Structure 1
Amino acid sequence: MTYEGVLTKMQTEYSNPIQYYLVFENSFLHLNQLLNKSMEITFLGYQCLNCGKKKKIFRQGFCYDCFMSSAAAGDWIMKPELSTAHLDIEDRDLEYEKRVQLQPHIVYLALSSEVKVGVTRLTQVPTRWIDQGAVQAIPIIEVPNRYLAGITEVALKNHFADKTNWQKMLKNEYLPVDLIKERASLKYLIPKEVQEYYHPEKDDLYDLHFPVLEYPKKVSSLNLDKLPNFSGKLTGIKGQYLIFEDGTVFNVRTFEGYVVKINL
């Protein structure tokens, strides 16, 4: 069977194990059903997720012009502490920024390669942790806007990593940590502005189980710009990565906006 379309990040369903779907315009693939089977990925071209034009993808599925102009690619996306919608100050599009920034956000601890601190919208729980390949995660606080979440993350970055070691995550290398105890120790590290939202007694630890038959000992990234055609046996899915029998891993999210053909 052949599937063709523009890559977007895999859609997920929180269950045991997590269910993964690759969704195209007119079809979709339930990837869990392809474990231990061969698949071929062929790069056909580009299509910007924002403007829809067949222009080379620059970042986050956007062409260069859209990445530099779209409100969905503002600096506050990666650095929530730069959010200004709560002050009625526009970055690129105040209406869009209010819609995204002025909603409940979570600051959390997640265990993937090590314990990391991060920020996500409440509506993205637990999707955000699945996308990161975290085996456990726990909210620290829930706040009403992205700015408060951002300054909390900044305060905690001195004590926790804020990025995932993707190679260790894919090899499932991590030291067990009691996230409930870690969260309970943070009271005096959290900014005064958000102390009222800190409730460490909640029973809200998430365990995440990924569909992986065997974790690789070494990993090598598939880059469609350098290798436009790849075939391999799918042995696992974790985070936004497809894991193949030979240790090749493919980060679907990195190649959003790429047009591909998949043969099964």
Structure 2
Amino acid sequence: MHLHGHLRKLGTSHEQPVVYQLRLASAAATQALTELPLNPLLGQHIRLHFTGRINCIHCGRSTRKSFSQGYCYPCFTRLAECDTCLVRPETCHYQQGTCRDPGWGQQHCFRSHLVYLANTTGLKVGITRETGLATRWMDQGAVAALPLFRVQDRLASGRIESLLATELKDRTAWQAMLKNQVQPLDLVQEAQAVVARFEPVLQAMPDLDYQLLVEQPLYFEYPVLAYPDKVRSLNPEKTPCIEGQLMGIKGQYLLLDTGVINLRKHTGYEVEFSCH
């Protein structure tokens, strides 16, 4: 089996275990994708040969380095989806008239967002748009997650996340996640404790409208034959040919017997994939 194309993030379907697809674009900035089911390849020897060519997923420009998971530097500095407020939504500057693309902001930021709790390597808080919620959690390698608050826009979700992050983690310890070092948690009980601790503060925050959600967690299992005892990160910049037995997939990582690689980090890279 041989495939060739430009990497996109792994496709996911919420089943038990999660179903993954390798996704390759036929051209640099095209939306036409070839998808290969990865779960059936567990235990087989796979090979990813990185050609050294990297192209921007927005404009297709050849670039020596990828920024913000797939963009060239000019697009990284120009596009609204690459602005720092996407990582830190509480710094949204739309109302100041300095949004890079107000039309994009209206479409993507001024819509319903959720603040959620997830168990990746312990309790963490995060935000996401209401659509594609399970995808967000699978991309993080969460074993369980539930939505906690619904708000009217991204800025409001960022304000709540920043408050909760004063006492909760807002990042995943990716190495522990890949070793499956996950604390068992009762997310419903954790959510009740978070609401009891923070809702009085939220109610006092000016101009903040939110809806408290009462939801049951979603649970996730991942297709893994064996988790690594020690995580060795594989870097195509140093080793263009990455190969080994596919031991598992979790988050956006392939777990090989030779190490692990985050495919989302290398979005836009041209790769030749083979399996035998």
TM-score when scaled to structure 2? 0.90
SS of 1:24's partner is strand
User: What is the match of residue 151 of structure 2?
Assistant: 143
> Which residue of structure 2 lines up, in the alignment, with residue 14 of structure 1?
14
Residue 209, structure 1, aligned to residue 221, structure 2: yes
AA paired with 1:151? Answer: R
Tell me, which stretches of 5 or more residues in structure 2 are unaligned? 27-33
Aligned ranges for residues 76-87 of structure 1 at < 5 Å? 76-85=85-94, 87=95
Question: Which residue number corresponds to residue 122 of structure 2?
Answer: 114
Q: Please, which of 156, 166, 169 is the counterpart of residue 158 of structure 1?
A: 166
- CA-to-partner distance for each residue in 1:21-57, whole Å, 9 max, x for gaps? 1122352211111100011111111111111012123
Q: Which amino acid aligns with 2:22?
A: L
List alignment gaps of at least 5 residues for structure 1.
Answer: none
Partner of 1:181: 189
**1: CA distance between counterparts of 2:172 and 2:184?**
15
- The aligned residue for residue 66 of structure 1 is 75
- Cα deviation, 1:132-157, whole Å, max 9, x if unaligned, reads 00101111111111011000000000
The residue type equivalent to 1:256 in the other structure is T
| Mapped pair 1:31 → 2:38 | yes
| Aligned-partner SS, 2:12 | strand
Partner Cα distance (2:234, 2:132) in 1 = 27
Once the two structures are TM-superposed, the CA of residue 249 in structure 1 deviates from its matched residue by 0.4
Asked if the contact 1:48–1:56 (Cα under 8 Å) also holds between the matched residues in 2, the reply is no
Aligned length: 260
The one-letter code sitting in structure 2 at the alignment partner of 1:197 is Q
Percent identical pairs in the alignment equals 36
- Pick closer, same or farther for the CA change 1:159–1:195 going to 2, 3 Å: farther
1:221-260 deviation digits (Å, cap 9, x = unpaired): 11110100121010100000000123x0010011111110
CA distance in 2: counterparts of 1:125 and 1:91, whole angstroms: 25
Question: Could you report, residue by residue, the CA deviation over 1:70-102 in whole angstroms, capped at 9, with x for unpaired residues?
Answer: 1110111101112244x3734200000111101
- What do you get for the CA RMSD once the two structures are aligned? 1.5
* Larger displacement relative to structure 2 (98-107 or 179-188): 179-188
